[in-house]
Amino acid sequence: MEVHHHPHIPTHAKPWKEYLLEGLMIFVAVTLGYGAENVREHYVETKKALVSAKNLYVDVINDSIGYAKTRNNRNKQDSCFEIINAHYNNNELDKEIPAVYAAHAHITRRMLYQMNTLALDEVKNSGTLKFLESDELKAGIQRYASLGSGLKLREQREFSYIDRMLDPISTKNFEFNFNRAAGDNFKIKGNKIVVSVPIPDNLKIMKKDQLDWDNYIAILGMLQTIRQSTDKDYIEPTQKECHELLTLLRNYLIKHDALGE
């Protein structure tokens, strides 16, 4: 005959202290688990922020180089205009046709460096910014990023002016091949533009009778005014913030032993 054993069911209730202890243990376990997960997540995100800071550091270095090259080229454009304007004031433009070609080709080039926003946008938009352990660095990133839109607007302003006012003169009055060659091969010595490529014997300003020199110099002068405004109000402040951010990023990476990794 099979014997069935019934489980022993306690007939008395647990003391309330046992329930309290069990509840407390469950609460502590959950809290510790949650805390450990938060610590792990914070560690992972902090490491990601460090990687983003390194990527941004590389981009800002390239930006710094780009701004420096842009300012050098734009200063050369200003010098070209001053030389051509002096020739105009002295009624010497007809004697300096190669120089006019070189100056025109260089002045009409579109040269305004735009900041690299790939790493910058990643830092701002991914939530990485809050895991950077430096309020000063966070502020520096935000200040620098805010200047990008201004540069883009000035680029549109300058390039649109060249499109409307100078490109028609380039195509109508300047022989294309020599204009391109002269713009790449000249030096400024004293107050002279010296072209270093062979100059065609018949080089001239095409349709010269249709080119109003007064208006031409005025157009170049306005472009220089626009560019100088861009330099002072946009490029210089952006370059300054770029250098400050570069220092902040370098110090941050050094502090976290990540600069040379």
In a domain, 160, yes or no: yes
pLDDT of residue 156 exceeding 90, the answer is: yes
Residues with Cβ < 8 Å from 53, sequence gap 6 or more?
123, 132, 137, 249, 252, 253, 258
Average the pLDDT over 25-34 and give the result: 61
Amino acid (one-letter) located at 229: S
Average pLDDT, the chain: 88
Higher pLDDT, 15 or 160: 160
Secondary structure class of 134 (helix, strand, coil): coil
Range of the domain at 24: 16-255
In a domain, 260, yes or no: no
Per-residue pLDDT tens for 99-138? 999 999 999 999 999 999 999 998 888 888 888 889 999 9
In a domain, 157, yes or no: yes
In a domain, 130, yes or no: yes
In a domain, 34, yes or no: yes
CA distances from 135 to 40, 115, 129, 138, 230 (A): 22, 22, 10, 5, 30
In a domain, 22, yes or no: yes
CA 157 from chain centre, in angstroms, equals 17
Total domain count, the chain: 1
134: its two tokens: 């430096």
Average the pLDDT over 79-107 and give the result: 96
Tell me the residue ranges of DSSP E strands in 113-258. Answer: 186-189, 192-195
Average the pLDDT over 57-85 and give the result: 97
Global pTM reads 0.80
In a domain, 89, yes or no: yes
d(C-alpha 42, C-alpha 151), whole Å: 36
In a domain, 163, yes or no: yes
